[in-house]
A and B are shown apart, each in its own frame.
Chain A
Amino acid sequence: MGVVLEVEGLKKFYGQFEALKGISFEVKEGEIFGLIGPNGAGKTTTLRIIATLLTMSEGKVKLLGYDLKENPEKFRENISYLPEEAGAYRNLTGLDYLRFMARFYNFSPEKTADFVERAIAIAGLGNRLKDKVGTYSKGMVRKLLLARALMTKPVLAILDEPTSGLDVINSLEVREIIKSYARQGLSVLLSSHNMLEVEYLSDRVALIDQGKILAVGTPQELKQRYDAPNLEVVFRRIVQ
């Protein structure tokens, strides 16, 4: 399995405040990698830097061997990012939104149609896609955005709390979507503060708190290493 994303010694300062204090991890081909940690741990900051939204203060990030600082456009071509809190253009219909976003990734109408078709399948919104996004519920918007993030089959899908704001049923659905996506050999980097969810979803996880990574490994490994029934207990043991 090749390495898709390498993060090394990543630091981020917001003014004087050091939000990331040197973070290192890597994401391999076809794996789901979960960043877990409490509120304010630095998950979103990390994901935003990789998604080219924020500049890093120090460190190195590489995607398929390309350096983030030198080739941010290579990153944008090969990733897709689902923000923690996001919306879609309220005046467009769901379908138009998907078409609009698809056109940034390719130049042929056939391919656009291809992307949109995949997105329709992922979103599972049926006829509601013909309605304006402004009329959607929070969960519907989330699914639309997830579909748009995955439709282009990015090398790395970066999902910041993909199930935030969703009910139990919808969360389950979204988790299934993400799992089946990784089965196609593509990689996912996601964050959550719901450790049980991440434990279920991820092939490997990194526990992060106050801008530092405390432990990395498969959920199984971590549970064994800290002799805990689940990741929540693992986390509590590490912090203590």
Chain B
Amino acid sequence: MKKFTNLLFKEIRELINKQLIFSLLFTMIIFYFIGQVTRTEAKRAETARRIGVLDLDKSAISRGLLDNLRLVRFQIEEFETIDKEEALRQAREKNLTFLLVIPSGLNEGVEKLETKEIETYSFLRSFSIGQARYSDIFKIILETANNYLSNEMLKKKLPEISPENLKKPLKSRDFVIVRDKKAEASASAIVGFMYAQSIFVPIVLFMILIYSSQMVISAIALEKQNKTLETLLTVPISRSAIVAAKMLAAGLVGLLSAFIYMAGFSWYMKGFTGDLAETAGGITKIIKELGLTMTTSGNLILLISLFLAIMCALAMATILGVLAEDYRSAQSLLLPLMLLVMIPYFLSIFTDFKSLSLPVRILIYAIPFSHPFMTTQNILFHNYRAIVFGILYMLIVFIILVILAARIFSTDRVLTMKLRWRRREVVL
């Protein structure tokens, strides 16, 4: 055991080198800055809700219109002039993004059921994505105004009927059913929320898989490149202990770097979804009613599934590492493994596994890494058979791969691959 920890610590020490720390830090910083920029951009869009208004009508109707805009959270800055140019100048000075000009005769137009024109002025100060949100603001203003004015017109014509009822004679109550549970909510809201909540699972999984495989494959390839493998293989420690130490060290360091990347990534994501938690208050209750929350045992199952997938990846990478002649070729050998992880990753994001045709599905199920990507859904929808199948399948694949890896490590192949490399070097 002491020999094993001796080797394990050395492996970890080798893996946590300057390059790793540097690239981790670098990525963190990048993520942090992108997150910061997105957040300030989002804030800037918030301030765009402060709009300037030049009310030339000054009637009950125009007052009502402004009140309605305030109701949909617009901050209104009124100008006390009747000169449009002067209003524009003031708006520019106050750094406003919008100026809305309400024409005189709006009141009269409503009385006579006539169409009137309002003018809007947008001040473009950059072409960043944040500016694109201005067109949304535009739309909201127009919709709010139109809705209010048509209501007023209807009230004039048909005072005994509520205009809202007239415009929308049908109202719907939406229910969502998950298995045997029912709750009042819209399906798209639930799906959207679940998606936003579980988007992290495949990303974490993907990162851990890729990082740890890369670690173990380079650990073995470097051992060959630096010609230390031969010595290591003759010291009194079993071959399976060497394989296990390399896999464990890579798994641990891969896990660590994945967590660090995730932290950076969540910073970054906060830039987009910072207020998600606040607006989600109501929906979490519904989610609970539908039984769509992960229980402790559910999380445990997910963890087991994840762990097995990582072990499979590590065992596979170990074998690839033995095949590699040096560090560089190890990196390219990692490609097929990455592909195997990428396929289920993208499928899990863009499609539903169940909607795929049978041969494709069989292919996907045959990839051990697919299973953890499906586990969350399977847990929530109580597809226990699929979960058990996935876990057993990964376990079997893992055992076969480890036996294979340890086998290769105790045959000549570990070294003979290296010999070929050396001979080529002599030619050079």
Measuring CB to CB, which residues of chain A are less than 8 angstroms from any residue of chain B?
A: 14, 48, 51-55, 73, 76-77, 79-83, 85-92, 100-101, 103-105, 107, 145, 148
Contacts and interface: CB of A to CB of B under 8 A. Distances in A.
Given A73-B238, A100-B6, A101-B235, A83 B227 contact: yes
A84 to B, nearest CB: 9
B228 A91 contact: no
Interface stretch (B168-176, B185-193, B262-270, B411-419): B411-419
A89 B422 CA distance: 19
B115 interface: no
23 contacts: A48-B415, A52-B233, A52-B234, A54-B412, A54-B415, A55-B412, A76-B234, A76-B235, A76-B236, A79-B234, A81-B234, A86-B228, A86-B231, A88-B226, A89-B14, A89-B226, A91-B13, A91-B17, A92-B10, A103-B6, A104-B6, A104-B7, A105-B236
A160 to B, nearest CB: 9
B84 interface: no
Contact of A86 (B7, B230, B411, B412): B230
A53 B233 contact: yes
A145 B231 contact: yes
Interface in B230-281: 230-231, 233-238
A90 B226 contact: yes
Contacts of B7: 104
Nearest to B416: A14
B234 A55 contact: no
B3 interface: yes
Interface string B1-42: 011001100100110010000000000000000000000000
Given A54-B412, A76-B234, A103 B3 contact: yes
Contacts of A101: 231, 235
Interface of B: 2-3, 6-7, 10, 13-14, 17, 226-228, 230-231, 233-238, 411-412, 415-416, 422
B227 A87 contact: yes
Which 10 residue pairs of A and B lie closest in terms of their CB atoms, listed nearest first? A87-B227, A76-B236, A81-B234, A83-B230, A104-B235, A103-B6, A87-B226, A77-B236, A51-B234, A54-B412
A123 to B, nearest CB: 15
A80 B235 CA distance: 7
Contacts of B234: 51-53, 76, 79-81
A54 B411 CA distance: 7
Contacts of B226: 87-90
B2 A100 contact: no
Is the contact region of chain A dominated by helix, strand, or loop, or is it mixed?
Answer: loop
A49 B10 CA distance: 27
Given A90-B226, A105-B236, 8 more contacts: A53-B230, A76-B235, A81-B231, A81-B234, A85-B227, A104-B236, A104-B237, A107-B2
A104 B232 CA distance: 10
Contacts of A87: 226-228
A103 B412 contact: no
A148 B230 CA distance: 14
A188 B24 CA distance: 48
B332 to A, nearest CB: 22
Given A54-B415, A55-B412, A86-B228, A103 B233 contact: no
B170 to A, nearest CB: 72
A52 B17 CA distance: 31
Q: Which of B6, B231, B415, B422 has the most CB of A within 10 A?
A: B231
Nearest to A79: B234
Contacts of B422: 85
Contacts of B411: 55
Q: Which of B2, B17, B228, B233 has the most CB of A within 10 A?
A: B228
A189 to B, nearest CB: 13
Contacts of B13: 91-92
A64 B313 CA distance: 42
Contact of B2 (A53, A83, A103): A103
A135 B236 CA distance: 28
Nearest to B14: A91
Q: Which of B7, B226, B230 has the most CB of A within 10 A?
A: B230
A100 B2 CA distance: 11
A107 B234 CA distance: 18
A86 to B, nearest CB: 5
A81 B230 CA distance: 9
A86 B227 contact: yes
Contacts of A107: 2
Nearest to A48: B415
A75 B411 CA distance: 16
A104 B14 CA distance: 18
A54 B234 CA distance: 10
Contacts of A92: 10, 13
Nearest to B226: A87
Contacts of B236: 73, 76-77, 104-105
A77 B231 CA distance: 13
A30 B106 CA distance: 114
Contacts of A88: 226, 228
A187 B226 CA distance: 28
Contacts of A52: 233-234
A69 B183 CA distance: 69
A73 B240 CA distance: 13
A104 B230 contact: no
Q: Which of B234, B235, B412 has the most CB of A within 10 A?
A: B234
Contacts of B233: 52-53
Contacts of A53: 230, 233-234, 412, 415
Given A76-B236, A87-B226, A89-B14, A104 B231 contact: no
